[in-house]
Amino acid sequence: MKMKSLLSALGISSVLLAASVSFAQHELADGSAKPPTRRNEIAKAPEKYRARPNPMDSDPSAPAAGKFLYQQHCAECHAHGADGTRRGPSLLRDRVQTAPPGALFWLVTNGVVRHGMPVWSKLPEPERWQIISYLKSLGSSTGSSGAGHPQASMVTPN
């Protein structure tokens, strides 16, 4: 009986793992597999967020703190240099670098759940603003299309 339970547990876990990995990969690979129906997620930020200034602007240590937070929480998908990977777009593009800080804050807070970016409201507000400070300190690299992301901007496929 014990052996039967163990084997069924192992079997079920293998099937579940394979199914969920397969499902996740399908969703993550979506961006490069489908024709790009480009959607600008930043443009969806409500006006009241867009108008919010970055309260960390007066803190000279904010970009440095934001860099540590970025490397911990964001680099896996957006790359350590923020130039994008297959899983997440470049954050050096003009669209990101010229966006109002409040719009970026809204995007980080809400994520793009249906397209793979989790919500990051689990980070306290000051930490999210520190990440925005770091991103803004990187400056734009016009023309950069990111390391491997075909639509390397804050754009997700439909």
Partner 1 sequence: MLRRFWLIFLFFSLILFFAPSRSAAQENPYIVAYDHYMEEPGSLDVEYFSTFGTQRGGNDFHSFWTEFEYGATAWWTTEFYLSGQTTFNDSTIFTGWRWENRFRVLKHEHIINPVIYIEYENTQADKILKEIEGHDVEDDFADSNADARQEHDHEMEFKLLLSSSVKGWNFVENTLAVKNLSNEPWEFGYALGASRPLALKGSATPCDFCRQNIIVGAELYGGLGDRYSFGLNNTSHYLAPVAIWNRPDGWALRLSPGFGLNDQSHKFLLRWGISREFAGFGSAVARFFGAH
CB of 50 to partner 1, least distance (A): 15
Contacting residue, 52, 87, 140, 157, with partner 1 by CB under 8 A: 87
**Nearest in space to 88 (alpha carbons), one of 76, 97, 99:** 76
Chain Cα centroid distance, residue 9: 34
Q: Where are the alpha helices (DSSP H) in the chain?
A: 2-33, 47-50, 62-73, 75-78, 94-97, 101-110, 125-138
The two three-digit tokens of residue 83, written as one number: 């130039």
Residues 17-46 that bind partner 1 (CB under 8 A): 17, 20-25, 27-29
Contacting residue, 50, 69, 81, 140, with partner 1 by CB under 8 A: 69
Instruction: Report whether 77 contacts 117 (CB < 8 A).
Output: yes
DSSP 155: E
Mark 97-126 with x for binding to partner 1 (rule: CB under 8 A) and - for no binding: ------------xxxxxxxxxxx-xxxxxx
- If one asks whether residue 6 binds partner 1 (CB under 8 A), the answer comes out as yes
Q: Is the dihedral of CA 44, 48, 49, 50 positive or negative?
A: positive
Q: Measured between alpha carbons, how far is 17 from 13 in angstroms, rounded to an integer?
A: 6
CB of 55 to partner 1, least distance (A): 11
Candidates 34-42, 58-66, 95-103, 147-155: pick the segment binding partner 1 (CB under 8 A).
Answer: 58-66
Applying CB under 8 A, which residues contact partner 1? 2-3, 5-6, 8-10, 12-13, 16-17, 20-25, 27-29, 61-62, 64-66, 68-69, 71-76, 87, 109-119, 121-127, 130
